[in-house]
Structure 1
Amino acid sequence: MALPKITAHTELSALSAIEHDALVAVYTDLDSLSSLQSSWASAIEPYRSIDKDFGQTVALVPSGAVGGNRLVLSPTGSLNDDTDDVRKIGEAAKAGIARAIEAGAKRPALVLAQAPPSPAEAPLDADYSRWIEVALLGALEASYVTLVVREFRESSRKGELENLDSIDLVVPGVIAQDCLKHVITRVRAIEAGRRLAKDVGYGDPERMTPYKCAEYIEQTVKGVKGIEYEEIKDLEVLKNEYPLLYHSSRASLAEKKTWPCIVKLAYKSPDPTKVKEHLYLVGKGVTYDTGGISLKIGAAMRGMSRDKLGACGLAGFVLATGLVEEPSVDITCILAFERNSIGPNALLPDEVVVSRAGVRVLIGDTDAEGRLVMTDAVCECREKILAARAAGDYTPSAIYTAATLTGHVIRAYGWYGAAVANGPARKEKWDHRLLVAGLAYGDPFENSVMRRDDHQFIASKTDREDVYQSNCNPSTQTDRGHQYPAAFIIKASGLDKHSLSAGKDAISFIHVDIAGSAEDGVEPGLGLMGITGSPVATFAGAFWTA
């Protein structure tokens, strides 16, 4: 998972042609780019003279004035129209670096030739405050080689393990050298987190079983300052302390390699006096989802090795936070890994299972396992917050769940994530922070509002259970299909006792459905979509101050 060496330059004159073997120029206006360097204009002019559209798409032209004789032009297009945002800069950097790699470059220079519009000139929903970071993250995304490919190349001795050796980042005239170095430090941490999320996420169901997910995360965070790792594999402990996870995974117990486990990551600030908040994070890590007895049919099971991306993303965020040694937060992170299998001992609809919080859950659909595997961990976080308060620690805190939970969120918003918050979280704008950070880092989130309908939908109508887990229809065929699961988690974890009416005992809770944002939405033929690493960058933007 090695990242390319990144060197910062604030002037073009500091860049030596010997040091790079391609130059990628990201720009908005080709005329302005040509005026930046006369030798570039000379290389570009022959093409412009015969093609009026030249420079509107990625192009590679020969130029003896740059290293490797490769000048890659990568335009952003407009940045000040109604729906323009910082993603266009990241996409241009990614496309330009990808073209350089295709041409054989190993040491490209990335020149961000033009600054985006100022806040006064930017579109309403555009935030260009992190544009340099977004551009560099786009470049690093183009250079990423998945774990499964690296392992294949290493075992077969075919191909290099990494696409790039280095990147020279040039941002002329808009940022001081020390500030640019700080940007690179943040980006390296975020990208390391995204690569952890992708490495585990891309793993097929056998490469990344629950235990192997845990093993890879442990290996990756080992030695990172401030991060402590713990795992729970004992089935009796899981049955007693995480009963909904245990019963959801019953069919997987026939093979030890698919047994469930809990991974706990704890991050402690290097300076306790600077801690402003404590984040409690719970991630869904379903390494393969057959639907269980409520079997996914037709093509619905395709891609279900990606049902662990919520846990992957949160693990990546904790890693990134440790790498930057962020002083303002402490983090308690619980990742619930299982394979939702089908078999004679599978969980069945009509069963009533008692949660960690003592809430009787009527199972309606075993394919709605994500809310089950996370709920007891949410209850544990609730217990930890109450214990801290009882001990006199009133550090502001919130519980976040992250999961590829529903197809409904994709039907509602397309390839975007959504945050669904309870009353205390909305009051303190914990959900709004994700929206703001997502815009700045090119990973936009939508804020969905929880309504009374969501609580009414899962409320028991008999004395035989306390809450309904789900109906028996797909979320895409259910009204408010990505909102009401948050109401279930609240009720089954005991968080319903900590709403706004609880006053000082209120606890903020935000459910983040990343079924849309965790993948890029691009189907490569019959292959699976690309993994984005969401929500690592958004969480960094929302919760880091350094």
Structure 2
Amino acid sequence: MSPPALPEIRTSAALSTLSDASDALVAIYTDASSLDSLAQIASDSAAYIALSRSVDKDFGSTVTLIPSTSISGGRLVLSPTGSLDDDTDDVRKLADAVKAGVARAVQAGSSRPAIYFAQPPPTEGECSHDADYSRWIEVCILAALEASYVTLVVREHRLATCKAGKAVVENLESVDFVFAHSVSQDEIDKAVRRAKAIETGRRLAVDMGYGDPERMTPYNCAEYIKAAVDGVQGITYEEIKDLDVIKREYPLLYNSARASFSEKRTWPCVVKLEYRSPEAARVREQFAILLSDSLYLVGKGVTYDTGGISLKIGGSMRGMSRDKLGACGVAGFVLATGVMRDASVNISCILAFERNSIGPNSLLPDEVIVSRAGVRVLINDTDAEGRLVMTDPVAECRERILAAREAGNKTPAVIYTAATLTGHVIRAYGWYGATVANGPARKGRYDHRLAVSGLAYGDPFENSIMRRDDYAFVASKTDREDVYQSNCQASTLTDRGHQYPAAFIIKASGLDKHSLKSGGSSAIPFVHVDVAGSAEDGVEPGLGLCAITGSPVATFAGAFWAP
């Protein structure tokens, strides 16, 4: 099963041109006085709004549904943003207002809402230094589409149990966007096109993420990605399932997954995606550096993480079907780029899928495994499997970059890993993603660009800095190994628990030979992206699991696509 088609998106320049096809009007506003403009189409509501404002000082601060006979569908939903220009305000407040307003309209029975923006967001000079409203139209479209989305597991259940009529597999049939202020049609059209591409990729990511351990085994993840990218121009798909090949090419992944070999449905696999720009001459980086084959992405796809023989205890295994969200997000970004047909980037992507099982053949602490790069890795904790499954793909990316340079291609390239790697990043920053970059990437500000893009798309990232402590922590103290995989404590109980894993990946993949010291022609920028915080929204629905956000699909799009 694949995601249903997105709702139809229509845009209007004024309320007077609003289509009669809508069945609710959702007004997004900061200042309740701006609602006076609604009088032109909702005259019967104007008196109610005016009276409410005069007797209720709290009116306009919460989502409110008002019946209105003059509005198509009879539903007027008021959804405030609150302030947008205070110290910690950012574009997420607009997104939250849109999601809340659309959700209330859907709850009331609407499937074709119109969203009316009663006033523009602050300009750059009016808002905080830590706010960026430059992508607010895209952010709001994405918020409405998020409110429309029905998860894969719910869609499949509804279709399987629907006995009569049509199963609801999308909350909205259409959505109109109405702007009360001057926004050029060209700006709107670009925003709609980008948002639709991003949402297509984001839905692939969240569909896979919501799938339970049996619905989304490693092979099922590969199958779902293959179906999603099939026929998308510019994207090629390859999968590796042969265990002998995985053992030879990705020994750390192979050994981490050993306990899963008893059942073929839980065997590991590697998915490779390539995206090639339709205009090779236009391939470039957003910082105006001309690139070729510039973007190498590696995603962690652990479809269930028991901890392996270093068993997770105390209920901490709950939610570990989501330890694949890094790979899900990367796959979603590649799909979004193909749908967008972005001409500014080429992408090479490797996704490592496994189930970190327990059994007689489990990987054991005290084993020394030799990585693809020939580095001897001492295993200390089989629950630190994410860095293992990504390291050999990083080594492969390194080899490809070096081969391209030896063939005469001297243009820069950068490697990004994406993973729900540590609980420490949540302890450090809360429900935000974080980047950890090596020297060449810091010098090129590759980590900073994700922070800039994340701010604009309402997916803020923190930039962590790698220190000498991180390399010292994993450095071997004997001649029996070259690097320590981890310590034996949870990352949340370890100093610099989300930073030092990047030092391990760098050392075990051979990237340590391509630091700033190696010189400009040999240096390879590397950024590790820990999305353990940002890939989920942090809101626990009772005994259930958090909602999945699709991070970092939008942030990557903002960072790597042409403006």
**Alignment TM-score, normalising by the size of structure 1:** 0.99
Q: How many angstroms does 1:36 deviate by?
A: 5.0
1:118 aligns with 2:123: yes
SS at match of 2:394: helix
Letter of the structure 2 residue corresponding to residue 117 of structure 1: P
Could you tell me the percent identity over the aligned residues? Answer: 72
Structure 2 residues without counterparts, runs of 5 or longer? 285-290
Structure 1 position 346 matched with structure 2 position 362 = yes
1:70 partner letter:
R
Would the alpha carbon gap of residues 41 and 395 (structure 1) be closer, same or farther in structure 2, given more than 3 Å must change?
A: farther
Tell me what 1:262 maps to: 270
Taking the TM superposition and a 5 Å limit, the aligned residue runs for 1:369-448 are: 369-448=385-464
Alignment of 1:63-78 (within 5 A): 63-78=68-83
Offset at residue 157 of structure 1 (A) = 0.9
Counterpart contact for 1:382–1:495, Cα < 8 Å: yes
Determine if contact 1:43/1:62 at 8 Å carries over to the other structure: no
State the alpha-carbon separation in 2 of the partners of residues 211 and 194 from structure 1.
20
1:462 corresponds to which residue?
478
What is the aligned partner in structure 2 of residue 513 from structure 1?
Answer: 530
Q: Is 2:542 the counterpart of 1:525?
A: yes
Query: How big is the shift at 1:457?
Result: 0.3
Residue correspondence of structure 1 range 139-288 to structure 2 within 5 A: 139-157=144-162, 159-276=167-284, 277=291, 278-288=294-304
Give the AA of the match of 2:206. Answer: K
Contact 2:120 2:181 survives alignment (8 Å): no
| CA–CA distance in structure 2, aligned partners of residues 466 and 509 of structure 1 | 20
- 8 Å CA contact retained: 2:308, 2:358: yes
The one-letter amino acid of 1:153's match is R
Alpha-carbon shift at residue 388 of structure 1 (Å): 0.9
Instruction: Report if the CA contact (8 A) 1:43-1:63 is conserved.
Output: no
Give the corresponding residue for 1:303. Answer: 319
Equivalent residues in 2 for 1:59-138 (5 A)?
Answer: 59-138=64-143
Q: Residue type matched to 1:310 in 2?
A: G
1:35 to 24, 29, 37: 37
Secondary structure of 1:168's aligned partner: strand
Aligned residue identity for 2:280: P
Shift of residue 43, structure 1, vs aligned partner: 4.3
Residue identity opposite 1:12 in structure 2: L
User: Is this contact kept in 2: 1:193–1:318, CA < 8 A?
Assistant: yes
Contact 2:300–2:418 (8 Å) recurs in 1: yes
8 A contact 1:22–1:69 mirrored in 2: yes
Partner residue in 2 for 1:11: 14
Kindly tell me the number of residue pairs found equivalent between the two proteins: 545
Between the aligned partners of 2:310 and 2:157, the Cα distance in structure 1 is 35
* Structure 2 CA distance for aligned equivalents of residues 55 and 63 of structure 1: 17
CA deviations 1:7-65 (Å, max 9, x no partner) are 1112222103x210001111101101223544252342343344221110101001122
2:73 aligned counterpart, secondary structure: helix
Q: Which residue of 2 aligns with 1:543?
A: 560
Match of 2:156, SS state, is helix
Contact 1:243 1:354 in 2 (8 A): yes
Q: Conserved in 1, the CA contact under 8 Å of 2:266 and 2:355?
A: yes
Q: Distance in 2 between matches of 1:200 and 1:428?
A: 33
8 Å CA contact retained: 1:286, 1:340:
yes
Residues 1:328 and 2:336 aligned together? no
| 8 Å CA contact 1:425, 1:508 repeated in 2 | yes
Is the 2:27–2:77 contact (alpha carbons within 8 Å) kept by the matching residues of 1?
A: yes
Which aligned segments of 4 or more residues in structure 1 are displaced greater than 4 angstroms? none
Please, which runs of 5 or more residues in structure 1 have no aligned partner? none
Q: Deviations over 1:396-418 (max 9, x none)?
A: 21000000000000000000000
Separation of aligned partners in 2, 1:74 and 1:529: 24
Counterpart residue identity of residue 268, structure 2 = P
TM-score (structure 2 length as normaliser): 0.96
| Alignment correspondent of 1:289 | 305
Q: Secondary structure of 2:308's match?
A: coil
